[in-house]
Amino acid sequence: MKPQFLIAAPHSGAGKTTITLALLRALQRSGRRVQPFKCGPDYLDPKHHTLAAGRESVNLDAFMMPEPHLFEVYQRYARQADVSIIEGVMGLFDGAHKMEGSSAALAALLDIPVILVVDAQAMAYSAAALLYGYRHFFPGIKLAGVIFNFVNAPSHYRILEEAAADAGVPVLGYLPERPDIRISSRHLGLHISGETDYNAVIDTAADHLSEHIDLELLLQHTLRPEPAAAVITPASPGRLQIAIARDEAFNFTYRENIAALSQLGDIRYFSPLTAASLPPADLLYFPGGYPELYLPQLAANTTLLQQLRQYEGRILAECGGMMYLGENIIDENGQPWPMAGLLKVSTSMQHKALTLGYREIHIGNEVFRGHEFHYSQYETVPEITGPAIRIFNARQETVAGVVFHTPRILAGYMHFYWGDNIEGLQRVLGLVS
């Protein structure tokens, strides 16, 4: 038996990320191997998890990942840990379509209990009705307990304890308000401004949590049978040379995507911000990130941009990486910054508008799933020639969008997931027939 659980909340902003990070750090400091996971496609929370736990966080997404693959990924990492903690997304039952892809659906699929974080700052005995509803709404999950956050005083907590008891939900503790451990949001989401300061915030949050929550009681409430051994078919190592952009401007990658790429050959990393030359490679991968924050540096590295224009291998680019391959990126003030010019398109941060959602892309006979999350927009709608590409959202509704697909480039705003389909990616990129 091992503690395994998902941390959820009735809504965003209840403090589940801060509590997740505090739990990861507190349990890691106790000498336990703690494996963090993130429900959904988010790139930023896993970076924080990794910092807090000292182990790389792994995304689990029931929309992008087929069930057998999702099970295999979870079991592979969970078996190597003493405790497995999944941070949920949005509200417990919020999914792409009703509960599809929600935290509750993931907990039910993996058969692990849920700890509910409730923002109690403006709530007292009404918590009983809320908890009763969350306990009974969907019988596919087990509510292992509740943590009340932003509690005003011990007398306030006593009322909340009574409410939870009447709803039949175990109380695992409470946290008073601590403004100094609130994690500020910036840009697309949570942002690490400096690891040293951020480590201090996580340590303070862990101290605060340990003072008010009985960790051993929490672990006892979340024991589940040890995950089964994952059945993995060893891949034959490939011979490709793969170069991946990784720095402050480009860093949105999924661990399982990188693991799948490693089956094709040797991986090396380089920085478009500082690299003096493009590394030798059969395949270049430019993931998403924050290129718009580093436009002067990217534009000033003219040697690398010129080498990229002369590069003859295959290129895969997503979101910020796709923007970098375009002719210009226009900043918020309307100034254009020259980029690689491999795609006849310019993108702009001047008139920001959020584009968000899951995507399913059909390229010939190949199907890939992923998601979009960006504020930049095309300066003009690109004209696309070549094979027809169909794009759908999570409800299987047609979505207007652009995917660049040439004999050697695959690029677009979509963040692809290919952890379960590296063969399809090879075919689309023309690496195999």
- How many residues make up the chain in this entry? 433
Q: What is the reported pLDDT for 207?
A: 96
Residues 6+ apart with CB under 8 A from 194: none
Q: Are residues 196 and 303 in the same domain?
A: no
In the predicted model, is pLDDT for residue 412 greater than 90? yes
Q: Are residues 169 and 260 in the same domain?
A: no
pLDDT tens digits, 191-244 = 444 444 788 999 999 999 999 999 999 999 999 998 877 666 555 556 899 999
pLDDT tens digits, 28-40 = 999 999 999 999 9
From the CB of residue 190, how many other CB atoms can be counted at a distance below 10 Å? 18
Q: What is the reported pLDDT for 256?
A: 97
Q: How confident is the model at residue 187 (pLDDT cuts 50, 70, 90)?
A: very low
| Catalytic residue list contains 39 | no
Q: Is residue 95 part of a domain?
A: yes
Q: Is residue 232 part of a domain?
A: no
Average pLDDT, the chain: 92
Distance CA 300, CA 347 (A): 18
Q: Are residues 254 and 207 in the same domain?
A: no
pLDDT tens digits, 245-257 = 999 999 999 999 9
In the predicted model, is pLDDT for residue 385 greater than 80? no
Q: Are residues 200 and 279 in the same domain?
A: no
Annotated catalytic residue, options 83, 319, 329, 403: 319
Q: What is the reported pLDDT for 188?
A: 39
Q: Are residues 157 and 16 in the same domain?
A: yes
Q: How confident is the model at residue 405 (pLDDT cuts 50, 70, 90)?
A: very high
Residue at which a domain ends, from 171, 193, 224: 224
Distance CA 6, CA 294 (A): 36
Full residue range of the structural domain in which residue 112 is found: 2-224
Q: What is the reported pLDDT for 194?
A: 47
Residues 6+ apart with CB under 8 A from 50: 36, 56, 57
Residue at which a domain ends, from 224, 254, 277: 224
Q: Give the helix/strand (H/E) hosting 35.
A: strand 34-39
Question: Which tops the pLDDT comparison, 406 or 380?
Answer: 406
Residues 6+ apart with CB under 8 A from 351: 377
Residue at which a domain ends, from 196, 224, 252: 224
Q: Is residue 229 part of a domain?
A: no
Q: Are residues 205 and 252 in the same domain?
A: no
Q: Is residue 393 part of a domain?
A: yes
DSSP secondary structure letter of residue 347: E
Q: Are residues 129 and 159 in the same domain?
A: yes
Q: Are residues 248 and 332 in the same domain?
A: yes
CATH of the domain at 171: 3.40.50.300
Q: How confident is the model at residue 129 (pLDDT cuts 50, 70, 90)?
A: very high
Q: Is residue 416 part of a domain?
A: yes
Q: Are residues 208 and 244 in the same domain?
A: no
From the CB of residue 160, how many other CB atoms can be counted at a distance below 10 Å? 23
Q: What is the reported pLDDT for 182?
A: 74
pLDDT tens digits, 357-368 = 999 999 989 999
Q: Is residue 230 part of a domain?
A: no
Region 280-302: what's the mean pLDDT?
97
Report the percentage of the chain scoring pLDDT > 70. Answer: 94
Q: Are residues 157 and 296 in the same domain?
A: no
Q: Give the helix/strand (H/E) hosting 216.
A: helix 215-221
pTM summary value:
0.92
Nearest to 396 by CA among 356, 360, 369, 348: 360
Q: What is the reported pLDDT for 58?
A: 98
Q: What is the reported pLDDT for 192?
A: 47
Q: Are residues 132 and 189 in the same domain?
A: yes
Q: Is residue 374 part of a domain?
A: yes
Q: What is the reported pLDDT for 181?
A: 82
The answer to whether 26 and 105 are in contact (CB under 8 A) is no
Measured CA angle at 29 (ends 23, 35), to 5 deg: 55
Q: Is residue 231 part of a domain?
A: no
- The lowest-confidence range among 232-241, 264-273, 334-343, 420-429 is 232-241
Q: What is the reported pLDDT for 173?
A: 96
Distance CA 143, CA 104 (A): 10
In the chain, the number of structural domains is: 2
CATH of the domain at 402: 3.40.50.880
Q: Are residues 19 and 129 in the same domain?
A: yes
